[in-house]
Each structure stands twice: as C-alpha cells, then as structure tokens.
Chain A
Amino acid sequence: MTGGLVPVYRSRSSPLHAARAGATAGLCASLALVCGLYEHPLVLAAVVAAVVGAGLAAGVGREIARAARLAVPLALLVTVINPLVYAEGQTLLVRGGTLLGHRFDITLEALGAGALAGLRVGAFTMVFGLASACVDPDELLRLFRRVSYRSALTASLATRLVPVLARDAMRMGDAARCRAEPPGRLAVTRAAVSGALDRAVDVAAALEVRGYSAGGRPERDRRPWSRHDLRAGAGAVLVLVAAVAGRIAGAGTVTVYPALEVGLGPADLGLAACVLIAAALPFAGRAARLGVARA
C-alpha cells in the first residue's frame, strides 16, 4: 500500500510526529474546519500552503505529494462537473444544447464556483493527507477508545484490514492471470469480497483470544505535555479561534451567483496569516528542531 494515494503513517523525528496524536490531529482538524467554513481562495490557498510547508518540514513531502496526486484530479473533477450541473450566473461562456429538457449552458460564475469548490475539496484532501502521514492512528484510536471503545476498535480493525485486503486482491489478480481460462473481473471481485469476510472472521477470532470481549476503557493518558505537544496544540487553538472569529466577523466572504465577487480585506489576510503561522508554530524556534523525542 505504500504506493497508494492515501499516505501511510510512519514514525519520524519531526516536531509534528513527536507531538501527541491529539495535538497534531487537533491542528489538522482545525485546518479541515477552515476548509469547511470558508471558500475564499486566499484562505484555502493558505491552508494548502500550510499543509505543504508543514509536510515538508515534517519530512513527509513525498506523502504530501501523494495526497496531491489524489487532490488535484478531485479538484479538477469538481471544477468541471459544477458548470455542467449549474447554469446560474450572468456571464455566459458556452451556449450548450438541450438534453432531456435540461439546458447545458456554461457560465463563468458556475465555472468559478466549481473552481472554488474544487479548491476546497483539494485543500481538505491535502489536510487529510497531512493527518494520515503525521498522526499515529493507534494513539488517536486509543483516545477515541475512551469515548466509544467498540467503535474505535472496529475503526482500528478496518484500518488494519485495508492493506491486508489490498494485498489479497493483488494476489488474487495474479492467480486469475495464472488460470488456464482467466475469469472475469466480477468473479475475482466477488471472491475477494468473500475472502475479506473470511479475513474479518479470522481477525475477530484473534481479537477474542486477546480478551477483547472482557475489555474495558484504557487508562487516561497522563503524560505531561511536551513542548511539541504545546506548540501543536497552540497552533490548533490559534486556527480554531481565528476561523470562528473570522466567521463571526464576516471574513472570507465570496459571492458566486449571480456575479462572481471575491472580497479581500484585512480579516481575510489576517485569517490566512493565522493559518500559516499556526502551521509553522510546531517548527518554530531552535528547541523544536533539536531533541525531537521520537525517532
């Protein structure tokens, strides 16, 4: 799965990896919140820049590039589909025909709205990529196990089974090529799916004998907060506060229909700056670059 589009977590010596999973995940979640609340191109571009910068500084540039390979086609897809679906807007670019009673006109506003939505999807995907590469899923799931033990363990299993099933599917594909009469994709897919059920039963049996059914909530993590934890946590809080405050203050306002209007004021610039500063915060200072606890 290392060649897949979704980055995989590997322990590294970087401030983002050294910080507790809750803090790094909090930073990523606050960046994702910005993607959810705003569609201003400057703010979204700041999020993408923050992700790329943090990823490079954390030594996961390759993983971020992999996420970008997923994000860019997704963004383009949304950009292309939106003007085909929505015909609102004042500026007509292409006059299309009518199909099944629907008129296919392409407007500048619909194209712009698609581009903004695509940028939002792309930025969100990049944030997800950063989280996948920098947040230890086991530690994160341990946090969630305190809230909902069984759901978290199920999620953990599902995460664990993905690469196993991918390898199974690859092997079955090779075996299909080795048959005297290669079967259709449907037959192989069906066998892979039923094989996944067998795998799931095996894993369930392994869980049972590890004492899962008698399991309780894990102890609360009482580790003192390290400087990496504090900086990543501070970054998360900064973005969260800036995002909420900016929303209340009306920052990042974009009007798409009937005419495309993208405002740019101090609040927008301030929010973008906060996003960049928050992403840089875990790496700021000499102390952050030296003595990273986790190799």
Chain B
Amino acid sequence: MPDPLVRAEHLSYAYPERAELGLCDVSLELVEGSFTVLAGASGSGKSTLLRALCGLVPHFHGGEVSGELYVGGMSVREHGPGELAAVCGTVFQEPETQVVMGGVRAELSLPVEHRGQSAAAVARSVEEVALALGVAHLLERRTDTLSGGELQRVAIAAALVHRPALLLLDEPTSQLDPVAGDELVWLLRRLNEEWGTAVVIAEHRIERCLPAADRVVALDAGAVACDAAPSEFLAWAAADGGTLATPVARLFSLAGLGPLPVSVKAARDRLRDAGLAPTCSAILVPAPERAAPRRFGRRPRTRPALELRGVWHEIQDGPQVLRGLDLRIEPGERVALMGRNGAGKSTLLRHVKGLVQPTRGRVDTAGRVALLLQNPGDYLIHECVGEETGARGLAAAGLSDRASASPRDLSGGQRQRLALEVAVGGGPYAAVCLDEPTRGMDRASRTALAARIADLAEAGAAVVMATHDTEFAAEFADRVVLMGQGTVIADATPSEVLAGGWHFSTDVARTLAGAGGALTAEAGARAITRELVS
C-alpha cells in the first residue's frame, strides 16, 4: 500500500505566547486524490491545521510543536514551506494579499521560476494551468484590475502551476459572492476528479463543498471531533447540536427523516421516494411575479425611517449604478437588500449614510444613520478593544471580558460584533445599515448577530442589510428587496421573494421546491411534518 500523502501522528501545536493549543493531538491520514472538507467553528483550528500542512506552522509563525506531520513523505519539522511547496499549493482567504506580481502571467510564472525551470518550461506550465483553470483570458491583465473571484482563481492557478499533489484552501469563498464561490467549488471538484489533485478545504458554508467531498474532518478546540464520510459527518453534526449541519441536513433531522442527505439533489430524491415532494408542491407559495416592487400610490401618513425618491448614481465616464431608485422603509423594519454584485446594494447604503451624494433624486432619513461597511477591521483603529467603544457597547458585543485585548486577536465574528457596536454607538439611530455582515462567519456568530439586529429593530431602528446570504436573510428579514441594474426588481416578504427563486433561494426552499414558502430548516420541517400527518 502506498504511503499516504499526509500523515499526522499526535500532532499538537501552540502559537507563541499562547497558553491554549491551536492543534491538540491530531492524528489523520490523507491519500492522493482525496477531497477533504475541514469543518468547525471559528477558532477551532482549521486554519492552523492548513498552515501546518504547508509548513507555515511552525516555520513562519513559530510556536511549539509536538508529534509528527509528514506531507509528501517530508517531515514538516525538518522541511520548511519552500520545500513543501513542491508538494502542496496553498490558497488563503484574502485574494488581494496572495497576489504578488503586477501582471497575471508574471504571477503564474513566479512559482515555476522559483524552481529554476527553463523559460520554455515556465511558458508551458503557465499556458497549461491558465487553460485548465479558465484564466487564459486574464493572462495579459494587470492583477489590480481583477475582481475578487478572478483574483482567487489566479491565486489557485499560481498554487497549482507546478502541479502539486495537494491543494490546501483556507475559506477561499468567504470573500466572494455566491456565484463566484459556487464556481470556485466546481473548479475544485474538476481539479480533483480530472487531475487527481488532493484537495483539503476549510469552509464555514460546507453545504457548498459537501457534495464533492469524500471525507469531512471536524475540529473542535484544535482536536479532531469527527473524521468520517459526509453522510456520517452529517449524522454526527445533527446529534452534536446541529451547528455544523447543513440546512438540508437540519431540515431532515428536524422532520425525523433519515439518512441525512449531503446535497439538495439527494434531499429531493429522498423526499420523492418518500412520496412527500408532490404533495408539498401542492401548497406552493405565490409565484415570483407577485413579488413585484412596491408602488406607493398614496403615501402612508407615518414618517418613514428612510426614503429614497428617484435616486440616480451616475459615474462620470462610467455606468449608472442606481437608476431612479424608489424605496421607503418604516421604523423597526428588517430589510434584506439582495442582488448580484454590481446591482447597486452597497452604493444604496452609502447614499443612505451620506458617504456619497445622488446625481439626481433625494434621500430622506428620520434621523441619524449608522453604517457598518464590509470590512469590520476598518472600524477597529485602537490598540485595545476597550478603547473602541464604551462599556455598554462591549457588553452588547459580548466582549466585556476582552477589553484589554488587541482587536487583532479577536475572531472574525467578535470583530464583526465589535465593529457593529462602534458603528451604532451613541444611538439612537433612525436606520442601521449593514453591508455583507455575515461574510466568513460561523453559525454561532451569525446567530449572535441576528439577535443584536433584532434588538436594534425593536428599539425602533430600520435595519437594512445588503447580503448574498439567503439563509441569513430568511432568518433575519421581514422584507426582501431584490435589486438589479440599479433599481428594485422585487420587494416583498422573504417567502415571496426567496421561496420561488432560482439563484436567490435557500437550500431548504430548493429542496421543497418552494412548498409552503418554507425557507428555513424549521419551517421546512413543519411543512413536511404537516404532510406526514395529513
């Protein structure tokens, strides 16, 4: 039997000046051509394990290691990232900081040139990887002109250009919109199936990767909590409280159906086999065309929290980002603003806050507006957490005990909560706007964020959230505004907009084909149970 590609034996690791272990007694083997998903909450050790596999731990980060880790037959203790790079390619979360050179061709050439290959060999490698990953049309582009999705593809191409046997990816879709994220996962699946590249991917939204995976390793506090095939992992996750389970698995688990499906397709097949799908379809929600933009014939007498009337945002020598947009939001409303990249969501929020002025039209607000932009780290400018906001804000963020910590030491979810409190400090506000607040968040952080948003809405603020996260929108919003081409193309309840959608839909709604307007696992399970009872 050939040696495994990766072999960890009782691997433990602690970052410098940290008491707790980043990895705790990890033992596992990965074979060539496997597709492994690393699951776990924020801070569970997924990134640390990936950094150990590529040699950054301990060679780049320092710290203390015990146990053994072999990658491609090389001991990570003895071989650094430069040598391990011959065996594994690594892609991190943030596309911008992974690209080193100014041009795409130079970026792809660099890893091969590092290995001292001839100019002809470099050119061939670049051409091959560019064609294989669908970035050939980008070869002559400058890297600073690429979108996030394109940059991430280029980063993957650069990681693969020397044909490593193992590809490591640390939440590669967290900074991408859902379309780009799905494309990336399909690409990884193709790489794995057609070229036999072993893939290890850490992800929060594992439902994207699970259908392609043949194994899931769940980590908890640095230790392996579950190491099993996807279906077995889902059974374990459901029994473990469901925080790591996919929405469809939770749906089946709550409805008492089994075994738990790893994909929407498998879920629909099982419902069909159980004779549930057709009758569920009988109680379909209103068709999407009913979810038309709201028109305001006679204006309500109450003063809205914010109102946009005929707002245009036209860039000089550029596109029209907003085209005569009308929108009225009442106090206490929770609105999810959805639409593809470039639809004008972020620009709309910037207009509401007053960061930009409309070319034409009016933006009226009933009072002050708070805005949380996409990158929470931009709000954290002090040396310690306690300086960022007052005691009340710290308590609301659940960080009272971390007042003396550096903001850089907080997890992604904690940073997001703190940034929100910084933005909404000194309230009350007529409107609170959030731009993609759930990017890269685990389920626990999203639940905490949803609770805080509910508090703000109950206090009378209109909460407007631009998001691609349909699952979160289904849980948090009481109204969904779908934007396209700089204007509102649908404006209705979440069920009306999301249950019948194709792209803008939740996994549960896709599984149930929009039955009962169910968007969440809980609502879907109730619909299925009703069908079972009747």
A164 is contacted by which of B97, B103, B408, B422 (Cβ under 8 Å)? B97
Given known pairs A178-B423, A181-B425, the reply for A1 and B144 (CB within 8 Å) is: yes
Contact in complex: B381, A210 (CB < 8 Å): no
A-chain residues with CB within 8 Å of residue B80 when the two chains form the complex: 208, 213-214
* B60 part of interface (Cβ distance < 8 Å): yes
B424 is contacted by which of A160, A180, A208 (Cβ under 8 Å)? A180
Contact in complex: A209, B54 (CB < 8 Å): yes
Contact in complex: B143, A160 (CB < 8 Å): yes
Given known pairs A156-B101, A202-B97, the reply for A210 and B92 (CB within 8 Å) is: no
- Of the listed residues A156, A178, A181, the one surrounded by the most CB atoms of chain B closer than 10 A to its CB is A178
A190 to B92 CA separation, bound complex (whole angstroms): 26
Contact in complex: B106, A142 (CB < 8 Å): yes
* A176 part of interface (Cβ distance < 8 Å): yes
A-chain residues with CB within 8 Å of residue B370 when the two chains form the complex: 178, 180
Minimal Cβ-Cβ distance residue in B for A295: B140
- Of the listed residues A137, A171, A180, A295, the one surrounded by the most CB atoms of chain B closer than 10 A to its CB is A180
**Contact indicator per residue, chain B 365-383, by CB within 8 Å of chain A (1) or not (0):** 0000011110101111110
Minimal Cβ-Cβ distance residue in A for B111: A210
A-chain residues with CB within 8 Å of residue B18 when the two chains form the complex: none
List the one stretch of A27-35, A215-223, A281-289 in contact with chain B. Answer: A215-223
Contact in complex: A211, B85 (CB < 8 Å): yes
Minimal Cβ-Cβ distance residue in A for B93: A202
A-chain residues with CB within 8 Å of residue B381 when the two chains form the complex: 172, 176, 183, 187-188, 190-191
Given known pairs A174-B355, A214-B114, the reply for A181 and B426 (CB within 8 Å) is: yes
* A86 part of interface (Cβ distance < 8 Å): no
B-chain residues with CB within 8 Å of residue A245 when the two chains form the complex: none
Contact in complex: B355, A177 (CB < 8 Å): yes
* B158 part of interface (Cβ distance < 8 Å): yes
Contact in complex: A206, B111 (CB < 8 Å): no
Contact in complex: B425, A136 (CB < 8 Å): no
CB distance from A163 to the nearest CB of B (A): 5
Contact in complex: B82, A206 (CB < 8 Å): no
Minimal Cβ-Cβ distance residue in B for A145: B113
A-chain residues with CB within 8 Å of residue B379 when the two chains form the complex: 175, 178-179
Contact in complex: B60, A208 (CB < 8 Å): yes
Contact in complex: A180, B426 (CB < 8 Å): yes
List the one stretch of B4-12, B116-124, B243-251 in contact with chain A. Answer: B116-124
Contact in complex: B85, A214 (CB < 8 Å): yes
* A144 part of interface (Cβ distance < 8 Å): no
A-chain residues with CB within 8 Å of residue B426 when the two chains form the complex: 180-181
A177 to B373 CA separation, bound complex (whole angstroms): 11
B103 is contacted by which of A138, A177, A295 (Cβ under 8 Å)? A138
* B292 part of interface (Cβ distance < 8 Å): no
A-chain residues with CB within 8 Å of residue B55 when the two chains form the complex: 208-209
A-chain residues with CB within 8 Å of residue B92 when the two chains form the complex: 202, 205-206
- Of the listed residues B101, B355, B375, the one surrounded by the most CB atoms of chain A closer than 10 A to its CB is B101
* B469 part of interface (Cβ distance < 8 Å): no
Contact in complex: B85, A209 (CB < 8 Å): yes
Contact in complex: B56, A211 (CB < 8 Å): no
CB distance from B263 to the nearest CB of A (A): 31
B423 is contacted by which of A136, A180, A210, A295 (Cβ under 8 Å)? A180
A221 is contacted by which of B83, B119, B424 (Cβ under 8 Å)? B119
A-chain residues with CB within 8 Å of residue B86 when the two chains form the complex: 211, 214
* A207 part of interface (Cβ distance < 8 Å): yes
* B99 part of interface (Cβ distance < 8 Å): yes
Please provide the chain B residues from 67 to 119 with a CB less than 8 Å away from any CB of chain A in the complex.
80-83, 85-86, 88-90, 92, 94, 96-103, 105-106, 110-111, 113-119
A-chain residues with CB within 8 Å of residue B408 when the two chains form the complex: 198
B-chain residues with CB within 8 Å of residue A190 when the two chains form the complex: 381
Please provide the chain A residues from 150 to 191 with a CB less than 8 Å away from any CB of chain B in the complex.
153, 156-157, 159-160, 163-164, 168, 171-172, 174-181, 183, 187-188, 190-191
A-chain residues with CB within 8 Å of residue B98 when the two chains form the complex: 202-203, 206
List the one stretch of A8-16, A105-113, A233-241 in contact with chain B. Answer: A8-16
A-chain residues with CB within 8 Å of residue B116 when the two chains form the complex: 216-219
Chain B at the A interface: mostly helix, strand, loop or mixed?
A: mixed
A-chain residues with CB within 8 Å of residue B56 when the two chains form the complex: 205, 208-209
What's the tally of chain A residues with a CB closer than 8 Å to chain B? Answer: 60
A283 to B404 CA separation, bound complex (whole angstroms): 64
- Of the listed residues B59, B88, B92, B113, the one surrounded by the most CB atoms of chain A closer than 10 A to its CB is B113
Contact in complex: A203, B97 (CB < 8 Å): yes
* A257 part of interface (Cβ distance < 8 Å): no
Contact in complex: A137, B378 (CB < 8 Å): no
B82 is contacted by which of A176, A213, A219 (Cβ under 8 Å)? A213
* B290 part of interface (Cβ distance < 8 Å): no
A137 to B143 CA separation, bound complex (whole angstroms): 12
A217 to B6 CA separation, bound complex (whole angstroms): 30
**Contact indicator per residue, chain B 252-272, by CB within 8 Å of chain A (1) or not (0):** 000000000000000000000
CB distance from A209 to the nearest CB of B (A): 4
A37 to B143 CA separation, bound complex (whole angstroms): 37
CB distance from B495 to the nearest CB of A (A): 32
A142 to B59 CA separation, bound complex (whole angstroms): 27
Contact in complex: B377, A195 (CB < 8 Å): yes
A191 to B97 CA separation, bound complex (whole angstroms): 18
Contact in complex: B119, A214 (CB < 8 Å): no
B97 is contacted by which of A1, A137, A199 (Cβ under 8 Å)? A199
A295 to B137 CA separation, bound complex (whole angstroms): 12
B-chain residues with CB within 8 Å of residue A137 when the two chains form the complex: 102
* B353 part of interface (Cβ distance < 8 Å): yes
A-chain residues with CB within 8 Å of residue B115 when the two chains form the complex: 211, 214-216
Given known pairs A10-B142, A208-B82, A213-B80, the reply for A178 and B119 (CB within 8 Å) is: no
B-chain residues with CB within 8 Å of residue A183 when the two chains form the complex: 381
Contact in complex: B425, A180 (CB < 8 Å): yes
B-chain residues with CB within 8 Å of residue A208 when the two chains form the complex: 55-56, 59-60, 80-82, 85
A179 to B388 CA separation, bound complex (whole angstroms): 10
CB distance from A77 to the nearest CB of B (A): 29
A219 to B122 CA separation, bound complex (whole angstroms): 10
* A225 part of interface (Cβ distance < 8 Å): no
A198 to B88 CA separation, bound complex (whole angstroms): 24
Contact in complex: B378, A174 (CB < 8 Å): yes
What are 10 A-B contacts with C-beta separation under 8 Å? A137-B102, A180-B425, A203-B97, A203-B100, A208-B85, A209-B85, A209-B88, A209-B90, A218-B116, A222-B119
- B-contacting residues of A (Cβ < 8 Å)? 1, 8-11, 136-139, 141-142, 153, 156-157, 159-160, 163-164, 168, 171-172, 174-181, 183, 187-188, 190-191, 195, 198-199, 202-219, 221-223, 294-295
Nearest first, the 6 closest Cβ-Cβ pairs linking A and B are A214-B82, A138-B106, A180-B426, A191-B381, A213-B82, A175-B378
Taking A172-B378, A219-B119 as known contacts, 5 extra A-B pairs with beta carbons closer than 8 A to each other, sorted by chain A number, are A180-B426, A208-B85, A210-B85, A215-B82, A223-B119
